[in-house]
A and B are shown apart, each in its own frame.
Chain A
Amino acid sequence: MSAQAPTSPQFARFAVSPARRRKDRLARGLITAGTAIALVPLILVVYYLLKKGLGSWSWSFFSTDPTGNTFFKTSSIGGIKSAILGTVEIVALGSAIAIPIGIGVAIWLVEYGRQSWFAQLVRFFVDVLTGVPSIVFGLFIYIVLVVGTGSSYAGYKGSLALSLLMLPVVIRSAEVILLLIPGSLRESALALGAPRWKVIFRIVLPTALPGMVTGILLAIARAAGETAPLLFTAATTRNTDFNLGHFMNSLPVQIYNDVTSPTTSVVNRAWGAALTLVVMILLLNLIARLVSRRSRLT
């Protein structure tokens, strides 16, 4: 709190001039206003999502596939079943690829590569990869796996694009956590006569696990929300198809396609799908936060 002007005369010379106080109040007002402005979009997004999205939610919404129908009545546009299942499958496969590889590279960086020129090179390129716009990952997979092999879109190709996107994130966050583990832990294990691989798998990784899980969950949440990498790899389809070798629907792509529709009911379906997607991501974020709170490293 800025000093209040005291009443007694001998402190008068310590009083803050009205001009300074005005400036202080103005500045603080602006800062508070700025913060409020920051929160406005959040409130509006949440409000609108709930308002428009909840209206679409129903049991049949989640259990019916979307029809390709964009011109007729509400009841015949279907739901988002294939989109939800598709997102789950594609993201699951992408994570299953990116996570072990990412953790493996992180382990190598921290335990073996350390500061060698080769490790620095790997770090540099992984860093560079984080700056790639997400759509470019889709383009790469498209060129290599769709055009290159002469085959068509497939769910697993979308997974590969997502895993490329997740890889630098997983490597980065895993490396951060592994570096946080005190050297004395490794030392005491080594001094007991443990071979290096046991030190890594029995001591280091279990200690790092909660922190890494947090990073992984956040990476998965991000991948689940991505549209661009899937556009030209998994493409989309209407019916539920568990086969990752075929075209596959996903929530972000479904929403993206519905956005441009002139039919109100289709747009409403997009809102319902958007709310579903946001809820899924928030759940992942929540679990990540809970896990990190139980981490012993921080």
Chain B
Amino acid sequence: MSNDAMPAQVANVQDAIVEPDSQTDSPREQIAPRASAPEAPVSDPAMPTASAARQGLSVTLEKLRAFYGSAEQVKGIDLEFRANEVTAIIGPSGCGKSTMVRCINRMHEEIPGAHAEGRVLLDDDDVYGDGVDVVAVRRAIGMVFQKPNPFPTMSVFDNVAAGLRLSASGRGGRGKADLHAKVEAALRDAGLWDEVADRLAEPGAGLSGGQQQRLCIARSLAVEPEVILMDEPCSALDPIATLKIEELIAELKQRVTIVIVTHNMQQAARVADRTAFMLSGELVEVGPTQDIFTNPHDPRTEEYVTGKFG
């Protein structure tokens, strides 16, 4: 099955052309944006949301191992993150959750001396395959970090636009209006637009902690990834900001696949469809969140979720 390349002006929901679900595309073909035909767009159709035309992809880890030098931190993991679902990774400190997640968008290897083995399949493509370029991987798989880190020299607008400008391939003229539309769309998707619409030129670092983190989410959304990895995104935020972001996650999963690392089990219970429990670099158990917390199979899982250790 093949898809035609989309014309350039497809940013608006009204103009979105409904395409058949193309998750079984052969890897060699151009993958076009898809409209979520069965699901109604969450926001008012009159407002531009570029991402309503997209869906997430699944990510599958096969025998993933991660090393710092010769020390093995992640010891062979097979795990699937289903498309358009939120999967939470829980486990005690030092169990390798963050390391594993950073292997997915190949940030792990940015650390000197660190490397990974195994396969990470984005849909059907191995991100560690030969000839694969890490830069392209990271455009498809975005990341939100623990500590909000908007670029300090940039305004709110420029922060969100940064992803687009930094990863611009130079092909296809990107008009100013187009850029504005994308920035606004991303900010709306991140639930931040109403709060910053009149402050777009102010420094990004001037926002509150929760707003900064949503700004970072908007920044990641602007490049329209298929997957977003979140590494303890709320651990530096107050409860109200945390709540807002958890609500956001529930909305976003319609458009992207979300993997969230968290040491807060209640958070996992609140936002995740599926939960994976890791211990000492290994995957102990994975399953629907309800099951993991109320009826775990592995005794270690039960000990952890009941708080016997942590």
Are A and B part of the same complex? yes
**Cβ-closest 7 pairs across A and B:** A193-B139, A194-B166, A193-B138, A191-B143, A192-B163, A193-B167, A184-B149
**Are B145 and A187 closer than 8 Å at their CB atoms?**
yes
Which A residues are in CB contact (< 8 Å) with B165? Answer: 202
A83-117 interface code vs B (CB 8 A; 1 in, 0 out): 00000000000000000000000000000001100
Instruction: Give the residue of B107, B136, B147, B153 whose beta carbon is less than 8 angstroms from that of A191.
Output: B107
Chain A 179-193, CB-CB to B under 8 Å as 1, else 0, gives: 000101101111111
Q: Is A207 an interface residue (CB 8 A)?
A: yes
Q: How far is the CB of A171 from chain B (nearest CB, A)?
A: 21
Write out the residue numbers on chain A whose beta carbons fall within 8 Å of the beta carbon of B138. Answer: 190-194
Q: Is B192 an interface residue (CB 8 A)?
A: no
Q: Is B142 positioned at the interface, with any CB of A under 8 Å from its CB?
A: yes
Asked whether any CB of chain B lies closer than 8 Å to the CB of A18, the reply is no
Partner of A203, one of B135, B151, B219: B151
Asked, given contacts A190-B138, A191-B107, whether A184 binds B162 with beta carbons under 8 Å apart, the answer is no
Q: Tell me if B98 counts as interface (CB < 8 A to partner A).
A: no
Of the candidates B110, B152, B167, which one forms a contact with A192 in the assembled complex, judged by CB atoms under 8 Å apart?
B167
The yes or no answer to A199 lying at the interface (CB within 8 A) is yes
Q: Does B36 count as interface, using CB distance less than 8 angstroms?
A: no
A22 contacts the other chain (Cβ, under 8 Å)?
Answer: no
Does A296 belong to the interface (CB within 8 Å)?
Answer: yes
Over the window 22-46 of chain A, the binary record of Cβ atoms lying under 8 Å from chain B Cβ atoms (1 yes, 0 no) is: 0000000000000000000000000
Most chain-B CB neighbours within 10 Å: which of A184, A193, A194, A206? Answer: A193
Residues of chain A contacted by B220 (CB below 8 angstroms): 191-192
Residue of A nearest to B111 (CB): A183
Partner-B contacts on A (CB < 8 A):
114-115, 182, 184-185, 187-195, 198-199, 202-203, 206-207, 296
Q: Does B172 contact A (CB under 8 A)?
A: no
Whether B110 pairs with A193 at a CB distance below 8 angstroms is no
Known A187-B107, A198-B166, A202-B166; judge A192-B223 contact (CB<8 A).
yes
**Would you list 5 pairs from A and B whose C-beta atoms are within 8 A, ordered by A residue?**
A114-B112, A184-B149, A185-B151, A192-B162, A207-B153
Q: Which of B108-157 contact A (CB under 8 A)?
A: 110, 112, 135-140, 142-143, 145, 147, 149, 151-153
Flag if A194 contacts B152 (CB, 8 Å).
Answer: no
Given contacts A192-B163, A193-B137, A193-B140, 13 further A-B contacts (CB under 8 A): A184-B147, A185-B152, A189-B151, A190-B138, A191-B105, A192-B220, A193-B142, A193-B163, A193-B167, A194-B163, A194-B167, A195-B135, A206-B153
The residue among B140, B143, B145, B166 with the most chain A CB atoms within 10 A of its own CB is B166
Q: Determine if A193 and B112 form an interchain contact, defined as CB atoms under 8 angstroms apart.
A: no
Q: Is B216 an interface residue when CB atoms closer than 8 A count as contact? A: yes
Partner of A189, one of B140, B152, B166: B166
Secondary structure dominating the interface of A:
helix
In the complex, are the beta carbons of A194 and B143 less than 8 A apart?
Answer: no
Smallest CB separation, B238 vs chain A (Å): 20
> How far apart are A170's CB and chain B's nearest CB, in angstroms?
22
CB distance from A207 to the nearest CB of B (A): 5
The answer on a CB contact under 8 Å between B136 and A193 is yes
Q: Within B198-244, which residues are at the interface with A (CB < 8 Å)?
A: 216, 219-220, 223
Residue of A nearest to B138 (CB): A193
A184 CA to B151 CA, complexed, in Å: 10
Specify which chain A residues have a CB less than 8 angstroms from the CB of B163 in the assembled complex.
192-194
**A188–B149 touching, CB < 8 Å:** yes
B153 touches A296 (CB 8 A): yes
Q: Is the CB of B166 within 8 A of A191?
A: no
> Which residues of chain B have C-beta atoms less than 8 A from A187's C-beta?
107, 110, 145, 149
CA distance A11 to B143 in the complex (A): 66
Q: With A184-B147, A187-B107, A188-B145 as given contacts, are A193 and B153 in contact (CB-CB < 8 Å)? A: no
Contacting residue for A115 out of B112, B137, B145, CB 8 A: B112
Given the complex, which residues of A lie within 8 Å of B216, measured CB to CB? Answer: 188
Interface residues of B in 70-110 (CB under 8 A from A): 105, 107, 110
In the complex, the answer to whether B151 meets A190 with C-beta atoms within 8 Å is no
* B residues in contact with A190, CB < 8 Å: 107, 110, 138
Q: Inside 8 A of A203's CB, which chain B residues have their CB? A: 151, 162, 166
B2 → A minimal CB distance (Å)? 25
Residues of B within 8 A of A194 (CB): 135, 138, 163, 166-167
Bound Cα distance from A119 to B167, whole angstroms:
29
* Binary CB contact string for chain B from 30 to 43 against chain A (1 if under 8 A, 0 otherwise): 00000000000000
A192 and B144 alpha carbons, distance in the complex (Å): 10
